[in-house]
Amino acid sequence: MASRILVIGEALIDVVRCADGTVEEIPGGSPANVAITLGRLGRSPHLLTALGTDDRGRQLRDWLAKSDVATAYVDVLRTATATAELNAAGAATYVFDIEWSLADAAIEPAGLIHIGSIAGLLEPGASDMLRILDDQRDTALITYDPNIRPALISDRANARQRVEALVVRADVVKASDEDLHWLYPRRDPHETAHAWQASGPAVVIVTEGADGAFAVADAGEIDVPGHPVDIVDTVGAGDTFMGAFIDGLIAAGLSNGSARPDLRAMTKGSLASILDWAARAAAVTVSRRGANPPSRDELA
C-alpha cells in the first residue's frame, strides 16, 4: 500500500503584473505547486495549508482538486496573495500579503512529508510545523525547499537559523543557487551544499536555472545539465523540480522513514537519473506561462 504523502505550506494567489501592463490572478504558492506537481504525476498528495473562505480560497481549493490534491486547511481571515512583477525576461520579484497559521490542525501520519518556503519562516505557523516534523520524523521521510522570499524577511540571520533548523531535520533538501547566495552572501553554493549535507540530510540539491543542478550525497557530488527550452517565465520551475524529484524517490521505493538507509546508500547513477527526471519536468514548466507543471503523460 502506498504511503501517504503530506505537503505542508502556503497556498496563495499570484497576482501577476506582466511587463506589458496586463494583470492576472493565478493560483500558486511554493508548497502548493509541489503538491500540484505530485498530483499531476499521479501521487495523490495531501496539502495542509491556511486558506480564507473568500473567493480566492475557493479558487485555490478548486485548482488543487483538479490536480488530485486533497486539501486540509486552517481558516484564516483572507487568502494570501503574492504580487509578482515580471520583467521582459520573464523573471519574477514578489510582494506578499499572507497570514500563516496551522492553529491546532490535526495531523494524520504520513510516509513522506514535504515542507517549504514561507511556511518555515513565518510565525505562528513556523513553530507548529517544527512540532509536526518532530512528531513524525521517526516514521516519515522529510523533504525541504527553503525557497527564500526576501520581501518577507527583515532579519537575515534569524532566517538563516530557521532554515538551518529545518535542514537538519530533513532527509532531502533542495535550494536554488539564488537562495544560497541570499542566505550566505560570501559563501560558494557548493560549500554550503556540502556543509548542509554534513549536518544531517542524505541529499542536498542546488538548482542553477538553465545550467541544471548539482547534488551532494554520501556517494559524492553529482552534476546534471539543464534541458534547453524557450523560456516563457520561471514561475514554479523550482517547485516542479522538487515535486518531480519526490516522485522519483517514490518510484525508487523511498517513501517513508524506514527508507532512510537506502536513501543514504543511493549511487551517483541512481541519483542522477532522478535529478534528470526533475530537470525535464522543470523545463516543461518554464516553457509555458505560470506555475503549470507537466503531467506524467507529457513527460513520457
CA-closest candidate to residue 240, choices 11, 18, 22, 35: 35
Q: Each residue of 204-251: pLDDT tens digit?
A: 999 998 889 999 999 999 999 988 887 777 677 899 999 999 999 999
Query: DSSP label at 120?
Result: G
Q: Each residue of 64-123: pLDDT tens digit?
A: 999 999 998 888 888 999 887 777 776 767 788 998 988 778 788 899 999 999 999 999
Label each residue of 24-79 as H, E or C: EEEEECHHHHHHHHHHHCCCCCEEEEEECCCHHHHHHHHHHHHCCCEEEEEECCCC
Q: Each residue of 174-214: pLDDT tens digit?
A: 999 999 999 999 999 999 999 999 999 999 999 998 889 99
The reported pTM is 0.93
Distances (CA, A) of 268 to 30, 42, 191: 28, 26, 19
Residues in the chain: 300
Predicted confidence at residue 83, as pLDDT, reads 84
| Cα 129 to the center of its chain, rounded Å | 15
Domains, the chain, in order of start with CATH, read 5-294 (3.40.1190.20)
Name the percent of the chain in helix, strand, coil, to the closest 5.
40, 25, 35
- What's the rounded Cα separation, in Å, for the pair 19 and 10? 26
Q: Each residue of 244-257: pLDDT tens digit?
A: 999 999 999 999 99
- The bridge status of strand 203-207 relative to strand 172-176 is parallel
